[in-house]
Amino acid sequence: MIILGIDPGTSRIGYGIISADHHIFEFIAYGCLEIEKQHKKEVRLPAIHNHIKDLIIRYKPEYAAMEKLFFQNNQKTVMAVSEARGVIYNACAMSAVPVGEYAPLQIKHAVTGYGKADKKQMQKMVQLLLRLPDIPRPDDAADALAIAICHALLSRDHAGTQTQ
């Protein structure tokens, strides 16, 4: 099973692509789409859509997984991330790629066994599980790989794709 993990943001979208076969994970690709913060959403949103669509065309994932949006104090940021998530969902839906959605605590618990793991613990487990020589950088890409691993672990425990 090939999974596209996505860490949505306003100007930086992390992605990580893995192959999962039972509890064996293989790294395929990771990186970040970075968009200048000064660009208006009329530029940012189509760029996000096209980038996700290009990843789907290139890697042909069977599933996508994304971190749930959690409450933030800055409403402007919440709206911008929500718009990016909508564009990501649209790109996946247009390509018939189902999307699983996971809370940060779910991701941490699935990857490390501890729902309150810190960023360093998460990154180290991603590195170990994917047998990478170094911790993936930038952090957004490492987070996206963790989201993909989480989906592989949790979707295996349930019938079909888990979307929450």
Establish whether 26 is a catalytic residue: no
Do β-strands 12-21 and 99-102 pair in parallel, antiparallel, or remain unpaired?
Answer: unpaired
The active-site residue out of 21, 54, 140, 157 is 140
Can you spell out the DSSP letters for 58-92?
HH--SEEEEEPP---S-HHHHHHHHHHHHHHHHHH
Chain-centroid distance of CA 122 in Å reads 14
Of 88, 53, 65, nearest to 1 by C-alpha is 65
* Cβ atoms of residues 154 and 107 within 8 Å: no
Establish whether 7 is a catalytic residue: yes
The active-site residue out of 67, 101, 118, 139 is 67
| Active site amino acids | 7, 67, 140
